[in-house]
Structure 1
Amino acid sequence: MAISTSKVDADRRLVFQVGVRSYEIDARQVLEVVRIPPITRVPHGPQALAGIANLRGKPVPILSMDRVLNDVCDATSHAGKIIVYDHGGPVGLLVNEVLQLSADTQASPLKELNSLLDTAFKVARRAPVERTKSAAHDVAVVTVKQTALLSFRVAGQLYGLPLDHIREIVPLTRDISLITDAAAAVIGFIPLRDSVLPLLSLASLLGIDDKKAIGESSPIIVVEQDREMIGLVVDEMDVICRLRDDAIDRVPNLLQRGRGDAQIEAIGRIGEDVRLISILSSEKLFGHHAVTQAIDQNSEAKPMETTGEQENAFERFLIFQLGDESYGLPIRSVDEVAGVPKDVTRMPGAPDFVMGVINLRGRAVPLIDQRTRFDTPSSTRAAKARAIIVNLGGLQAGFVVDSVTEVKAISSAALSAAPEFSSKRTDIFDRIAQIDSDGRMILLIDPKELLTRAERDIVEAIRDEKTKAAGS
């Protein structure tokens, strides 16, 4: 339960415990005391920074008072209380316990708390950044015409849909409303934000007798066509890939007959191993009789976007995992997502976080282990490691992560500017997204800064190695 101090007398002091010692601070600077919420770690943040937390819908930096006072470098235990302190804006002070609110205490006074906080952490906020869909730094430079596809599997087969028609990917929930007299492919309807989404089995739409049961692990691909949306249940996600036009063959009309109502529009060839992917047509999917029936039966459902203003209210992000933390990249900056190849060419003298160089459609692309750069503990997700290929302004690199979990449309109301951290290496985090009602927050990465920061890290690492070699 929060402790309000809005009417505390001027002489009142708040007493708290850190380790075995007790300290007191001016209670007038205390906004409230709360239980510890979920804390998101900030890679390369200041030593005293435990992370950021969602407090009443706002991202607030959380400082470990054990680190501030005792210079303890061990991982902070997330047990105790958070004192929300007014230091030019709210700052959370992580302590072991809050003992009392009193005018007469025997605790050690922290008269220089503001100076300690200034030393440990600089609290400021960036000016809001104007972001539009046509922002130059969010547009990948591609010299050859390519088609971006989201690939996934149904009954063991690889399929793809144009990424431009994918609104997001969400997990299947139990909140499914069934309808009577529906086509066999119609599973039902699910709530999605302020709307209702028709849910269909892609296997059934394609005429595949898929015996796999639909469970909570089944991903839902939200597909958009002419302001209408449907959710397609598939078996598992694969990657994001880009195919040149000469790697895509149209399906002959002779083969576009029979079950599935010709949803497959083309066949693509992926990589040197020439994997084949069946490319679906969103237009033909929405023309399927089961889809039109579901949309018609959902008479109360409203399109999530009906005006130009509403179109700008959502931004799509690729969410990926490093250890136990999730991060996001604007989907517009992602060239593709691929499995980590076995044939990575090592670069002599390169830093440890540079895995090497890969051949990506005839172009040499450096592969950077983002797990090492973010000091992420080893993870059991290594088997699902993916390389996110980012291409901006002629710069291209692949960043290896533990896994890619989803594509998510996040409303502008759930986005806020990240606090300005005192560590320059945290400049790559420019915004924070509030994802769930339980307060989970995700750090969002500025792709331009991610690339330039990687370049600087490589240069600095090579320089440090040369300095060590010269001194030995």
Structure 2
Amino acid sequence: APRLVVFDVAGQAYALALGVVREVMAVPSQIAVAPRSEALVLGVADYRGGLLPLFSLRGLLGLSTDLQVELGQKVVVTAIGGVVVGLVVDRMRAIVPAEPSLLEPVPPVLAARTGGEARISAILRREGGGGLISVLSPEGLFREEIMQRLGHFSEQGVAGEDGQGALSATLSFLVFRLGEDEFALPIEVVEEVCAAPAQITRVPKTPSFLEGVINLRGEVLPVVDQRRRFDMGPAPEGAQRRLVVVSTDKHRAGLIVDSVSEVLRSSASQLDAAPDLTGQAGRLVNAVLNLDGGSRILLVLDPAELLTPAEARLLEGFETEGARPPGD
């Protein structure tokens, strides 16, 4: 199923197709206010050698007149009409599969309230009463006159579709945290990101970092606690940890991490060979990402090495025996 990036705006859940999201990043520390610009433009920020216009998604959706940038907000970078723009949202929530059977058309009354503009392309019903997610259409967010102004921005050097030419061989990663350390996984292997499950069925005679298994939409999914995998201490009490579901040719597994911070776009030139590491890290880390001139280092995990062959066989045997772990 296609995947959606879900984020919060004014207490409501919205989403964009992962395929149209270039990055999800922290709000830049420096934003220049553009004089005489459209009111919904929060300003412009430096972005990969160009300028990125920042728009308040609250304002675009008519949810709030308070368009101030707040600490902790995120920028969803997407391309609209050939121009790359940043949509400021309250926080990134999850990555979820868009099962066609759970997608509903927009009710006519909602379309009428938006003045006929197709801002919302569909409504996703979450399984198990998990609420509704409004799926946005990027092109429907902007009125024609704003699109014309975006064209003016582009002429003045805003990063357009070709604005990342330096990123020959562009790669995308999901970035997550364990304590103060940052890790990355190739986005193509990430199936889903959701809240860590409250109930996990333990499997006897397995390593301590294998939390157990859960039932995720009818399939048994092994769950790995990445803190234990890297011999780190327990997470702070009350921490709202996340489950990252990863699927490769070898296996499918869920990783419990402290938080998911962003979807990062990078170039192959920023990848370096992994340093000599001991223990589990030596097998799991296959590269490092050097960002911000070397001041930020991300450890890139090898998805194929998340479970050893012996661990995978043990869990496959558990599934074959007909285990029925509790639902997610």
- Relative to the length of structure 1, the TM-score reads 0.61
Instruction: Please report how far the alpha carbon of residue 446 of structure 1 lies from its aligned counterpart in structure 2 after TM superposition.
Output: 1.3
Q: Deviations over 1:351-395 (max 9, x none)?
A: 322222222121111111111011112333862211110011162
Percent identity, aligned pairs only, is: 35
Determine if the alignment matches structure 1 residue 380 to structure 2 residue 241: no
C-alpha RMSD of the superposition? 2.8
Q: Residue 294 of structure 1: SS of its match in structure 2?
A: helix
Equivalent residue runs for 1:165-314 within 5 Å: 165-209=20-64, 211=66, 213-225=68-80, 227-259=82-114, 261-285=117-141, 289-303=145-159, 305-306=161-162, 312-314=168-170
Q: 1:377 and 1:289, CA in 2 relative to 1: closer, same or farther beyond 3 A?
A: farther
CA distance in 2, matches of 1:276, 1:254: 17
Letter in 2 for 1:200: F
Contact 1:198 1:231 in 2 (8 A): yes
- Match of 1:199, as an amino acid? L
Deviations 1:324-377 (A, max 9, x none): 211110111101111012232233443322222222121111111111011112
| Residue number in structure 1 paired with 2:286 | 430
Aligned: 1:161 with 2:16: yes
Task: State the shift of 1:422 in Å.
Answer: 6.4
Query: Structure 2: any 5+ residue segments left out of the alignment?
Result: 316-328
Matches of 1:447 and 1:300, distance apart in 2 = 41
Q: Residue 257 of structure 1: SS of its match in structure 2?
A: helix
- Following superposition, the deviation at residue 439 of structure 1 comes to 2.4
1:188-246 CA-to-partner distances (Å, cap 9, x unmatched) read 11111211111100011111125474224211111124642100001111011112101
Instruction: Kindly tell me the number of residue pairs found equivalent between the two proteins.
Output: 315
- Contact 1:222/1:232 (8 A) holds in 2: yes
Residue 178 of structure 2 contacts residue 257 of structure 2 at CA under 8 Å; is this kept in 1? yes
Query: Once the 2 structures are TM-superposed, how far is the Cα of residue 277 of structure 1 from its aligned partner?
Result: 0.4
Change in 2 beyond 3 A, CA 1:259/1:286: closer
Secondary structure at the counterpart of residue 59 of structure 2 = helix
| 1:347-358 alignment runs, 5 A limit | 347-358=203-214
* Preserved contact between residue 47 and residue 159 of structure 2 (Cα < 8 Å): no
**Unmatched 5+ residue regions in structure 1?**
1-145, 460-472
SS in 2 for 1:427: helix
For 2:220, the equivalent position in structure 1 comes to 364
Mapped contact 2:14–2:136 kept (Cα < 8 A): yes
Alignment of 1:429-468 (within 5 A): 429-437=285-293, 439-452=295-308, 455=311
Question: CA offsets per residue over residues 22-80 of structure 1, 9 Å max, x none?
Answer: xxxxxxxxxxxxxxxxxxxxxxxxxxxxxxxxxxxxxxxxxxxxxxxxxxxxxxxxxxx
**1:464 aligned partner:** none
Give the TM-score of the pair, scaled to structure 2: 0.86
2:253 corresponds to 1:391: no
Q: Compute the displacement of 1:436 (Å).
A: 2.0
Moved more, 268-277 or 198-207: 268-277
- The code of the aligned residue for 1:415 comes to L
Contact 1:428–1:453 under 8 Å retained in 2: no
Change (3 A) 1:449 1:312: farther
Q: Deviations over 1:116-155 (max 9, x none)?
A: xxxxxxxxxxxxxxxxxxxxxxxxxxxxxx1201101111
Q: Is the 8 A contact 2:40 2:67 kept in 1?
A: no
Which residue of 407, 410, 416 maps to 2:272?
A: 416
* 3-state SS, counterpart of residue 255 of structure 1: helix
Q: Deviations over 1:269-317 (max 9, x none)?
A: 1131231100001232356643542342342225455299756432111
Whole-Å Cα distance in 1 between the matches of residues 42 and 163 of structure 2? 29
Residue of structure 1 in register with 2:5 after alignment: 150
Distance 1:350 1:337 in 2: 24
CA distance in 1, matches of 2:109, 2:189: 38
Contact 1:433 1:442 in 2 (8 A): yes
- Cα 1:454/1:390, change in 2 over 3 Å: farther
Write out per-residue CA displacement over residues 378-426 of structure 1, whole angstroms, 9 at most, x where no aligned residue. Answer: 3338622111100111621101011111111112221112235565751
Query: Mapping of 1:19-30 within 5 angstroms?
Result: none
Q: Structure 2 vs 1, CA of residues 152 and 452 (structure 1 numbering), >3 Å: closer, same or farther?
A: same
